[in-house]
Structure 1
Amino acid sequence: MISSKNQSLSLIISISALLLLIQFLIRVDLFYISDPLIKWIQVVSLWNQNWTTESILFPAKDMDPLFLMSPLNENFVFLHKEQLIGQYPIGFTFLYSLLGLIQHQYLPYLNFIYLALLILLMTKNKFQIPVILFAILGTVIFPLLIDFSENGLFILLSAYGYYFLFKAFETERSKYWVFGNILFGLSLWLRLEGILLFIAVHLAIFSIEVVTNKKSVWKILHPIRYSIFSLLLFSFFLWNAYRYSDPLGTRHLTNFGRFEKTILDQFQIFLSIVFTFPKKEIWTLGFFLQSPIYLMAILHMKKMDFKNKPSLRFHLLSSIIFLFFVGTTSPNDGLTLNGRYLASMVFPLTYLLNEVFKDIQNQKLKYYSVMAWTALCSILILIVFYFSSKELKKLKTELTNFQSNLIVTTSEVLSGGFTLDLIEKQVICVRKDFLVHYFYYNLKQNNFPEFLLLNLKKETSMSEEEIDSYHALLNGSISNGYECKPASESAKIKSQKCIHKNF
């Protein structure tokens, strides 16, 4: 018979190898769009500037001093205290910038380390192998580990932090409180959900020890339970207040500072994250819609005798309280992977699933239906990754044919398609027609003799604003002394060189 130790090692190696294989097939070393692209630009900018500033490199700064024509999504990067700041936390950026000696295209492949350590933790807790497969391959965790992001390290830190606090709850040993505090304290420098999960865990402990077991409130207020985390949290607040004038940092500035939401809006976001909610573009794939087996596990809990199983109550209460916190505070549901805000909930929920898994397996029709549905969702997500990467690589290859000292687009798809070349090339995006006057004013101030205007060839794929901006740029060229040559077309792109008449 194969020993449990060998089984664990085989599981870790096989799933980690699967992640590496999928990353290679998708070519995540070339797959930069939206969030991963901003994160990479932040990391490379910090490294290239020798950590003297966290301002993002933007070669077209003289052409766009107010940063109104960002080549990137304008919600991801913003001008703050005369610096261009990305919305992703300095903890993540700084850590990866320390690895600058490694060629940047290899860094996304390091995610297998986080995955291996997470599976190791699950095997340490004696989770059944099918349960681990559901937890890793059948939830939002696996796709979050594919591209370059802080998610892998955050999930790992929060899972180990949760584990140590759970052990502290069971044993009251000081070292577990210390380890749990440190790991949760480090995780909040990556994502704010670390704060929510830490509070959820302690509210669960309060409910069990004080409300149910009638213990003294003063006992659970022992400083070892909170002090280290509080110190790290205070340092986090202090840093962000000093650097960004907001104690919650760049994510709070970009996500909460720019949008107003009603209670109904927040409820729709909550539904989208947890289950689904129809949008104009597509229905969303929420956490429990992608992984309904966890909802089945929660429903099975009503049969449990929690009086004699405080550990299960700990996991259930922590999960429910965290779910409530996320539902009431999430700034949005994201464009993809809507359940990502609940990624750190997978580990506590897996304790519950492991407890009732045999009962779920006995309901064969439900079990196999859920297994097939979860597999289908996971496969579809990977297919989307693959074809998105394929299209992005085609666009990137096509864009390499266009060379100019200044490249102007009206579409973030095109400007963002230059990916990490944006650190070296002067690329701007005139996404609104009212920016045309601002563009030509700065063009004149910087004495540019010419610029290259790029546009998507098919107007049907362009928004109305992009079409208006494109025509406004052409019309404005005449009055500002530029002559735009007839358009040339490639596979997807229409290009026009605009030259000043005096050059």
Structure 2
Amino acid sequence: MIQKIKEQWAVFILIITVPILHIGIGTENTYIADSALKAMQTDSLIQNNFQSEEIRYPAEKLDPLHEAFFLPGTGFAKEIQGRFIGQYPVAFTFLSSFLRLIGITWKWVPMLLSFFMIFSLYLLSKRKLIGQRTILLGYFATILFALCLDFSEYSIYFLFNSIGFSFWLSYRDLKKSSDLYLALISCSIPIWFRLETLLFLGSLVLSEIIIHRKNIKDLIKGINPLGILFGILPIILFFLWNFWDYGHVLGVRFIFNYGIEQTSVLDRVHRFFSIIFVNYVNGAPKFGLFFCSSFLLLPVLYYVFFKNEKDKKIDFLLLVIVINTVLVGVLAPNDGITITGRYLILTIIPLLILWEIWNPQISKSWKTLSVVLIIFSFFVSGLILAIMQHAIKQEKIYRNFYAQNQSSVWIFTDPLLCGQAGSDHLSKNILCINPKTNLDRIVNNLIKEPSISSLILFEMSEKEFKKFEYKMPMILPSKSKTLLTKKLDLHFRKEKSLEYKGIVSTRYYKP
């Protein structure tokens, strides 16, 4: 046991520190925005007895057209072939549903998923692809750290692709065709979790074609077409399932992200830099892959510009890194909010392996530069952690305030406060009124629904509202807010409003 700990001391450190981080930060309060929708999809699948992925919207009776569903204007949930569904793939919903069914509460699910990431790094080290120091750098000095603190599919998605990439490298070394088939199937399965795996697998194939371009026969020598077909079977099944269930081979995520996209060339350039490096848009920082982990760029620069002699493994790693980075940077549907480098999470696998090869070979000046950039990467991870802690703290404060205002319905007039309701969206009647909401229909349904005895209207204070009125597209305009208040005043008995940290709550009773 002691010998195993010595051999895998970094993994042991992660096993100890990751739970402490989750408990200390309070990741049970991270169910905001997309995480809350993933949780809602999970609970809905269970409630539907795994027969349908249609969302169980608690306020369905009050809002049958889903005009006041949370995350307004994001396109995160809408009707597809007559079903109101979320944009996240059903594979992750099935996995998280299984965890919920065996008794794992929402408090512990994010922490449990983090162990898939630790296992990924452990497997890479067991295959002698990365060392123990690189494990710590890979977890704490890259975007993996922040992505593991949230309820998401990234850990399991990273695990499958890590296994696949290690088999691919083994095939290149030993030329065992079975390794290639295992690599293909391991890299094909995670397409059920995220579409970017198709770009990653495409990067592997393109890299091999470029390297063997002068003699393609060497590339396909000894490969059984049936083995290839077996390897990509998960992708074929994925396409068939999507066409049957959603009417498009690439599935619900593609429909949601690309169905209505109209992006200019300039916007794509901005998005590319947001994902690759860094950007600052509408008052919000966007941290790309090589901003968060600038030290990983050093081996790439070294081998491309300063060392002409490279072995075939290094050539392959460089090609995969460059091709995957370009493909993702150009084709990504958006750049997210803060951690924009998440689309390039799979590029971290070859980057860490290249770092492991490069690090012992470098001169003193390169070592000094690498130390400086590693320190900077830890600083960025700390900054992201501070941002997340602030968001989690705010969400906890808001939810505690909302919880003190128990009623049949919570009504919000802006997406920011509505999003802070977190996991309460899974069980409570919550209406996020926005400019596209039919106020007459909502108020009439509130009046007619016999189970509604009271409601709470949550709004920003006048001071806070003025800050966001023209910056937040789906916030209810002042004229519409006034109209909503008048309608509620006309049909309900109103209590005195309360104000807390920029939030105004007003209770209404049925007469």
What TM-score, normalized by structure 2, do the two folds share? 0.90
Q: Which structure 2 residues correspond to residues 355-370 of structure 1 after superposition, within 5 A?
A: 355-360=357-362, 362-363=364-365, 364-370=367-373
CA contact under 8 A between 1:275 and 1:285: conserved in structure 2? Answer: yes
Residue from 278, 293, 311 that aligns with 1:291 = 293
Amino acid at match of 1:58: Y
3-state DSSP class of the match of 1:466? coil
More displaced stretch, 351-360 vs 50-59:
351-360
Shift in alpha-carbon separation, 1:214–1:90, aligned structure 2, 3 A: closer
CA distance in 2, matches of 1:213, 1:133: 40
* CA apart distance, 1:393: 0.9
Please state if 1:452 is matched with 2:451: no
Aligned to 1:443: 446
Shift in alpha-carbon separation, 1:221–1:257, aligned structure 2, 3 A: farther
* CA apart distance, 1:225: 6.0
Question: What is the CA deviation profile of residues 244-283 of structure 1, one whole-angstrom value per residue up to 9, with x for unaligned ones?
Answer: 2222122112211132112222121111100122312133
Amino acid at match of 1:477: L
CA distance in 2, matches of 1:492, 1:132: 43
Shift in alpha-carbon separation, 1:481–1:283, aligned structure 2, 3 A: closer
CA distance in 2, matches of 1:220, 1:34: 49
Amino acid at match of 1:15: L
Q: Which structure 2 residues correspond to residues 119-268 of structure 1 after superposition, within 5 A?
A: 119-124=121-126, 125-209=128-212, 211-213=213-215, 215=217, 219=221, 222-223=224-225, 226-268=228-270
CA distance in 2, matches of 1:32, 1:133: 27
CA contact under 8 A between 2:411 and 2:455: conserved in structure 1? Answer: yes
Aligned to 1:101: 102
Amino acid at match of 2:14: I
Residue from 461, 483, 491 that aligns with 1:472 = 483
CA contact under 8 A between 2:89 and 2:193: conserved in structure 1? Answer: yes
* CA apart distance, 1:391: 1.3
3-state DSSP class of the match of 2:508? strand
Aligned to 2:58: 59
Shift in alpha-carbon separation, 1:150–1:136, aligned structure 2, 3 A: same
Q: Which structure 2 residues correspond to residues 23-62 of structure 1 after superposition, within 5 A?
A: 23-62=22-61
CA contact under 8 A between 1:131 and 1:357: conserved in structure 2? Answer: no
* CA apart distance, 1:360: 4.5
3-state DSSP class of the match of 1:494? strand
CA distance in 2, matches of 1:8, 1:437: 67
Amino acid at match of 2:156: L
3-state DSSP class of the match of 1:176? helix
CA contact under 8 A between 1:200 and 1:322: conserved in structure 2? Answer: yes
Aligned to 1:394: 397
Amino acid at match of 1:399: Y
Amino acid at match of 2:434: R
CA contact under 8 A between 1:16 and 1:112: conserved in structure 2? Answer: no
More displaced stretch, 100-109 vs 293-302:
100-109
3-state DSSP class of the match of 1:188? helix
* CA apart distance, 1:243: 1.6
Aligned to 2:87: 87
CA contact under 8 A between 1:181 and 1:225: conserved in structure 2? Answer: no
Question: What is the CA deviation profile of residues 216-249 of structure 1, one whole-angstrom value per residue up to 9, with x for unaligned ones?
Answer: 5754874256312432112111111222222212
CA contact under 8 A between 2:276 and 2:291: conserved in structure 1? Answer: yes
Aligned to 1:334: 336
Question: What is the CA deviation profile of residues 95-154 of structure 1, one whole-angstrom value per residue up to 9, with x for unaligned ones?
Answer: 121122223222212134213312212322252333332222111111111121100000
3-state DSSP class of the match of 1:59? coil
Please state if 1:20 is matched with 2:19: yes
Shift in alpha-carbon separation, 1:212–1:8, aligned structure 2, 3 A: farther
CA contact under 8 A between 1:455 and 1:493: conserved in structure 2? Answer: yes
Please state if 1:496 is matched with 2:506: yes
CA distance in 1, matches of 2:202, 2:340: 23
CA contact under 8 A between 2:277 and 2:287: conserved in structure 1? Answer: yes
CA distance in 2, matches of 1:424, 1:251: 25
Amino acid at match of 1:452: I
Amino acid at match of 2:256: T
* CA apart distance, 1:433: 6.6
Question: What is the CA deviation profile of residues 473-501 of structure 1, one whole-angstrom value per residue up to 9, with x for unaligned ones?
Answer: 113335x644544422234431223345x
Shift in alpha-carbon separation, 1:16–1:164, aligned structure 2, 3 A: same
Shift in alpha-carbon separation, 1:217–1:353, aligned structure 2, 3 A: closer
CA distance in 2, matches of 1:452, 1:327: 44
Identity rate, percent:
25
Residue from 317, 327, 335 that aligns with 2:319 = 317
CA distance in 1, matches of 2:118, 2:175: 28
Shift in alpha-carbon separation, 1:76–1:150, aligned structure 2, 3 A: same
* CA apart distance, 1:444: 4.8
Q: What runs of 5+ residues in structure 2 fail to find an aligned partner?
A: none
Shift in alpha-carbon separation, 1:216–1:31, aligned structure 2, 3 A: closer
CA contact under 8 A between 2:8 and 2:132: conserved in structure 1? Answer: no
3-state DSSP class of the match of 1:427? strand
Aligned length: 496
* CA apart distance, 1:365: 3.5
Q: What is the alpha-carbon root mean square deviation over aligned residues?
A: 2.4
